[in-house]
Structure 1
Amino acid sequence: MNLSTVAVISGASKGLGQALALGLMDPGAHIITMARSRNASLAARAADAGCTLQQIQVDLSDPRAAQRSATQIMAALPGGAQRYLLINNAGTVDPVRAAAQLDDEAAITAAFGLNVTSLMLMSAAFLRATRDLKAQRRILNISSGAGRNAMPGWAVYCATKAAVDRYSQVVAAEAPDVRVVSLAPGVVDTGMQEHIRASDPKDFPGLSRFVSMHEEGQLASPAETAAKILRYIARDDFGTTVLDDIRNYS
């Protein structure tokens, strides 16, 4: 098989990650997903599409597990593809608490592990594994408007996404031959949104806004958002704007 795309996607068992994986499935694709659980529907769709799919089960909030997976996956990347993509999509909004109540060390550490540390480990391994390849190399880090605007109750989430934004800028400066973007995907109708709507309003003062958006049908679907993101990744000017928002594009 002539490979067109090799794509590594974290958090791909559901929601936006799953939609991105599905959108990349064609006969010239080799897709590697990372998630805590396997997704039978992804495997079935890959078989129908005639592409290669590897599903890696890993808890990326555990830095040691993330490091092992990063090393193993990137060491085994197939050569000869025209394009290599790393999509760091996995993330959590927890813990949702006022700053004065953030006293759960394990929860804070797990959030930084998933949202930041695993992203850095995967990116470092990807950069090393692909640096000698004569191919297009692109990294997409799923960020959030919360990394660019303070949201009471989301101190941890805001801090981790701000870290992702600044890290992406550093990588772009260090590796100009790699296209890197930290992208806010907008408000997408995923399991994370369900979790947000279940928050205690004492911990998250902005709860009513997200409840209203859901009730009024203002949430974008994962499939719709994934389609926009994949068109965006394919653009010639991808990476020109390191901190971007998919809502800037049709």
Structure 2
Amino acid sequence: MKYAVITGASKGLGEAIAKRLIQEQIAVVSVSRFENEEIKKLAWEKGLFYQHYSCNLALEEEVQEVFMEIAHCIFQKNPTEILLFNNAGVIEPIDMVGHLDQTPVIRNIQINLIAPILITNLFLSKAQLTETLVQVINVTSGAAVRSIEGWSVYCSSKAGLNMFTQTAALEQAELNSNHKIIAFSPGVMDTKMQETIRSSTKDAFKDLEQFKEYKEKDLLLKPDIVANALIEFLLSGNLESGKVYQINDLLK
């Protein structure tokens, strides 16, 4: 049986991914601070294995403890495949360098970069002792390859995630492993993150009006559309390990 582990599964893209996977008869382990009852109910109706774990991804020790437990739970079931979605992310702090506060800077790097590295490392380590195929999907951003004033920390953490993805994939290829790791840029979606961006100030974020316009003109992608495109692509078996995929490539 296939299992999926999804961080940030309580809302936005993570929620949409979880719901689509359940429709595909894939067991789901959700990881977020709060549980999404709709996902739980949907899995129950489909008769699928579902488990929720609460975890603060900004806390290194908590990440290690929770994901050790998750990995133990899943691998003892001898799954054929594990889909690992490192989806959780934060954009704060939104501000110019010279005005950044230390705490949100550290939290951003912990959630956006360090947690995915630790989680991926753990699952690939466990998989070495089994026949289970692991496919890692790191949710990145166009900001990883484009400098945006006010987003220095977010741009940097996502750029780091891209490089980690590419390097880990290179290592797996050298080992002649079947495991795959990709990055996926979902585009500009109608999520809580966009609300956070729109609530910032012009002094902190020069492109504020442009992002407000995305909402006003209904130019934001719906999370379920993005999730459906991603899952359909993953299930096709055509993904190239180490590649950074853009949502526009999958919607063609």
TM-score bracket, normalised by the shorter chain, equals over 0.9
Q: 1:18-59 deviations in whole A, cap 9, x for unaligned?
A: 110111004842211110111111111111122111110111
User: Which residue identity lines up with residue 84 of structure 2 in the other structure?
Assistant: L
Q: 1:143-173 deviations in whole A, cap 9, x for unaligned?
A: 0000010000000000000000000011101
Find out whether 1:106 has 2:106 as its counterpart. Answer: no
Distance of 1:140 and 1:97 partners within structure 2: 28
The residue matched to 1:85 in structure 2 has which SS? strand
Aligned positions of 1:174-213 closer than 5 A: 174-176=171-173, 177=177, 178-213=179-214
Find out whether 1:35 has 2:32 as its counterpart. Answer: yes
Q: 1:71 aligns with which of 51, 68, 72?
A: 68
Q: 1:100-148 deviations in whole A, cap 9, x for unaligned?
A: 212x211111111111111111101110122233343210000000001
Q: Which residue of 2 aligns with 1:216?
A: 217
Q: 1:166 aligns with which of 147, 152, 163?
A: 163
Q: 2:133 aligns with which of 132, 136, 141?
A: 136
- How far is 1:240 from its partner? 4.5
The residue matched to 2:4 in structure 1 has which SS? strand
Distance of 1:26 and 1:197 partners within structure 2: 33
Find out whether 1:120 has 2:117 as its counterpart. Answer: yes
1:210/1:27 Cα in 2 relative to 1: closer, same or farther (>3 Å)? closer
Find out whether 1:57 has 2:54 as its counterpart. Answer: yes
**Gaps spanning 5+ residues in structure 1: where?**
none
RMSD: 1.4
Kept in 2: contact 1:27–1:49 (CA 8 A)? no
The residue matched to 2:220 in structure 1 has which SS? coil
**Gaps spanning 5+ residues in structure 2: where?**
none
- How far is 1:64 from its partner? 1.3
For normalisation by structure 1, the TM-score amounts to 0.94
- After the TM superposition, list the runs of 4 or more consecutive aligned residues in structure 1 that deviate by more than 3 angstroms: none
Q: Which residue of 2 aligns with 1:92?
A: 90
User: Which residue identity lines up with residue 126 of structure 2 in the other structure?
Assistant: A
Q: Identity of counterpart residues, as a percentage?
A: 27
- Which shows bigger deviation, 165-174 or 45-54? 45-54
Kept in 2: contact 1:26–1:50 (CA 8 A)? no
Kept in 1: contact 2:168–2:242 (CA 8 A)? no
Q: 2:43 aligns with which of 43, 46, 55?
A: 46
For normalisation by structure 2, the TM-score amounts to 0.93
Q: Which residue of 1 aligns with 2:12?
A: 15
User: Which residue identity lines up with residue 226 of structure 2 in the other structure?
Assistant: T
